[in-house]
Amino acid sequence: MSTPRKVKVNNIDNSGFGPNSNVEGGRLTNKDGSTNLRKTGMPFWERISWFHTLLRMSRAKFWISILLFYTFTNLLFASIYYLIGVDQLMGIDGHDSEFHRFLDAFFFSSQTLTTVGYGHVAPHSIATSFVASTESFVGILAFAIVTGMLYGRFTRPRAYLIFSENALVAPYRGGRALMFRMATYKNNHLTDAEAMVTAAVHVKEKDRELTHFYSLKLEYTKVNSLALSWTVVHPLDENSPLAGYTKQDLLDSRVELIVAVKAFDDHFSNTVQQRTSYTINELVYGARFLPMFHRAEDGSHTVLELDKINAHEPAAVPEPELNLADLDALTNS
């Protein structure tokens, strides 16, 4: 066995996270790229940006929120009309049951809120006219906001990247490498894609649990076009901060890979970015990815199978020639 040179890799302090492992709650970055963090010390309404919340929430939650707001607003104004007295609304039969009279008030509220105004029911007093005019004003403002949010969600630049569920420790040029892969899943085209990977390594120093952050050197940090899939590779060679880490060392250190990708979308004519992370529970040691694209049967185009983004098979990887303890001893000598 040849004698390796000393491994000296300085941890970085600009990761945005603190070095104290005792204050961490699970993973540092969630799979969707958001920070695993909750802020306290200020009132809830002061801590929440409703614009950002509505802009980033899923489509299902967004439409459910709009439906709940619409229903609650109509119930509120229908209750006001009912308390004033539905006899103050022309067109409602006073001989109907209370439930049907409330329904008539509810549907009148819906017509007023949306400014449809069929005319079957109309306000017949100063009080109901005042409430109806107030509701019309609320409806105009509310639908203007909803329309703006729909436009903002529709036009917001997004990378539309899908990542493999697992990161792998795979054989690589006679040694080992950490790797994961990504691809675009929409009909957008990304160019000048650039990836940055930071490793969060938990260590114990003088009876203290600390987190060290290392910027991982990649095989390719940038690709000109992200037309197919991109397998991001970090060689676990003598220049890696994870050199000498065995499978057990990776488990004990609770290594987390924090991934940031940015690229230029020629449809948006704007730079887009996306983040994700891989915890040790999502790391598969001794595997390699299977091909996810091939030539079509008629030879006219290339087929990219997005459902195979995480397809991998077991593969033997060589153990490091020098383990972590030996490397630490050599570095400190």
> What are the tens digits of pLDDT across the range 93-107?
666 788 888 888 898
Report residue 277's pLDDT band, with 50, 70 and 90 as the boundaries. very high
Report residue 71's pLDDT band, with 50, 70 and 90 as the boundaries. very high
Report residue 108's pLDDT band, with 50, 70 and 90 as the boundaries. confident
pLDDT of residue 7: 46
Among 108, 216, 234, 122, smallest CA distance to 168 is for 234
Q: Give me the residues paired with residue 152 across strands.
A: none
**What's the whole-number average pLDDT of the chain?**
86
Q: Pick the residue with more confidence: 22 or 317? A: 317
Report residue 4's pLDDT band, with 50, 70 and 90 as the boundaries. very low
Residue 280's Cβ-count burial label (10 Å; 0-12, 13-18, 19+) is middle
State mean pLDDT over 182-201: 93
Alpha-carbon span 119 to 322, nearest angstrom? 84
Highest mean pLDDT among 36-40, 178-182, 295-299, 324-328: 178-182
State mean pLDDT over 264-276: 90
For the chain, percent of residues with pLDDT exceeding 90: 49
Alpha-carbon span 29 to 27, nearest angstrom? 6
State mean pLDDT over 313-321: 87
Q: Count the neighbouring beta carbons within 10 Å of the beta carbon of residue 32.
A: 11
Residue ranges of domains in the chain, CATH in brackets:
44-155 (1.10.287.70), 158-332 (2.60.40.1400)
pLDDT of residue 14: 67
Q: Which amino acid is at 174?
A: G
3-class secondary-structure state, position 246: coil
pLDDT in tens, 199-239: 999 888 777 788 889 999 999 999 999 989 999 999 999 88
- In 249-304, the DSSP E strands lie at 256-265, 270-278, 283-285, 287-289, 293-295, 302-304
State mean pLDDT over 148-160: 89
pLDDT of residue 15: 67
Q: Is pLDDT at 327 greater than 80 in this prediction? A: no
Q: Which amino acid is at 122?
A: A
Distances (CA, A) of 99 to 46, 78, 104, 217, 219: 40, 12, 9, 69, 70
Q: Is pLDDT at 6 greater than 90 in this prediction? A: no
pLDDT of residue 323: 61
Q: Is pLDDT at 311 greater than 80 in this prediction? A: yes
pLDDT of residue 287: 96
pLDDT in tens, 39-54: 778 887 788 888 888 8
Model pTM score: 0.79
pLDDT of residue 67: 94
- Exposure of 26 in the CB half-sphere (CA atoms within 13 A): 10
